[in-house]
Structure 1
Amino acid sequence: MLQSEQEIIRLCRKNDTKAQAALFGKYSGAMMGICLRYSKNKEDARDLLHEGFIKVFGSIARFKGESDIKTWMSAVFVNTAISYIRKHFGRTFYMGEDFPETRQQETEEEDELQHFLFNDLSQNDVLEMVQNLPEKYRVVVNLYCIDGFTHKEISAMLNISEGTSKAQLSRARKLLATMLIKKKVIYEKAS
């Protein structure tokens, strides 16, 4: 039996299949969560999971131990998901007209939406709603709301402007609010 996570990592660097199986067993659930958030369905998520672990095992020698292994693996999986989306949906994300800067501060409605999404709904409900967003919105929602990247970081990752990232997030929030209204979780405000 493998002793510690450090030992598992050390053996994974030597391509030890038992150590790789142990790392997979310990983190496949968390990594599948990332894959599900970025993909449209479970089949694509399984493909991402497979591809992500291949990249983890192929690059584990570069893991320096400056963060914990789960954090490092999560970054590998997010990058794998973005590469996968680029490969299947085009080299750059959503080229075309640049969107104007959106307001910096969230409105009360957006705050209410965040509250319902992250406090009042089950993880499965949130996952289903996010998976039903158009690809360009789903990626920005994941990167900004869940993974904690800034619009500046997102713009660099996706080759879009910060304004486009903000606009896509704003549009995604509107679509999510519409979904919540349809589910009768929140009610449309009278004009």
Structure 2
Amino acid sequence: MTETLDNIIRGCQAGDSRAQRELYVLFKDKMFGICLRYAGNFDDAQDIVHDGFVKIFMKIGQFRFEGSFEGWMRRIMVNTSLEKYRMHCQVININDFTKEIDNTDSSDFSTEISARELVRFVQELSPRYRMVFNLYAIEGYSHKEISNMMDITEGTSKSNLSRARAILQEKVRKYFSQTAKIK
């Protein structure tokens, strides 16, 4: 952690509004990117970021300079996103999940798929499948952590991930078979 960031954090812990502004400017874009994967749209992502920063500033006194500050903030943003999910029972966009789809046998496919199409496929998943897929494949949480966050069993988390992958792989296969017929 840089000395400058340490000073900003200490300022935030002391309630310095200038330090809070600096911290917000320093991390808002990264945190927005995280929240956008969970939000249904741009406005929802902004709301989550706002709520997350409010929580960060309320809890910053608990940060003990052990481990990554950015990781600590990220966890708060993900938890804020999960709270919004629980309140509204809907989950949102995933922007980067191509590595999960790589398990699909693409040797027969003679065309490429756009990121926009992949995002659309994930958006078509049920809210629970999307949440589990995002937490596991994108955020790197374990099934045990997901089960605790979402109040489901580990087995349900594993099952939801397996079903989400199967659905996505089928959507990719259909997409490629349809685009191959067009060419």
Q: TM-score, normalised to structure 1's length?
A: 0.73
Q: Which amino acid aligns with 1:112?
A: N
**For the Cα contact (< 8 Å) 2:8–2:19, is it kept in 1?**
yes
Q: Return 5+ residue gaps in structure 1 as ranges.
A: 91-108
Compute the displacement of 1:78 (Å). 0.9
Match of 2:165 among 168, 173, 179: 173
> Aligned residue for 1:46?
46
RMSD of Structure 2 on Structure 1 (CA): 3.0
| Compared CA separation, residues 71 and 123, structure 1 to 2 (3 A) | farther
Match of 1:36?
36
Q: Would the alpha carbon gap of residues 183 and 64 (structure 1) be closer, same or farther in structure 2, given more than 3 Å must change?
A: farther
CA drift at 1:34: 1.3
Structure 1 CA distance for aligned equivalents of residues 118 and 25 of structure 2: 25
> What is the alpha-carbon distance in structure 2 between the residues aligned to residue 76 and residue 140 of structure 1?
17
Runs of at least 4 residues of structure 1 off by over 4 A?
120-129, 185-188
Report deviation, 1:121: 6.8
Aligned length: 164
The verdict on how the C-alpha distance between 1:123 and 1:187 changes in structure 2, with shifts beyond 3 A counting, is closer
Q: Show CA shifts across 1:87-145 (max 9, x none).
A: 2229xxxxxxxxxxxxxxxxxx9652499xxxx87766655543443210111011111
* 8 Å contact kept, 1:52–1:80: yes
- Cα distance in 1 for partners of 2:166, 2:155 equals 17
Q: Are 1:145 and 2:145 counterparts?
A: no
Secondary structure at the residue paired with 1:133?
coil
Give me the whole-angstrom Cα distance separating, in 2, the residues matched to 1:68 and 1:123. 30
- Provide TM-score, normalisation by structure 2: 0.76
Aligned partner of 1:58 in structure 2 is 58
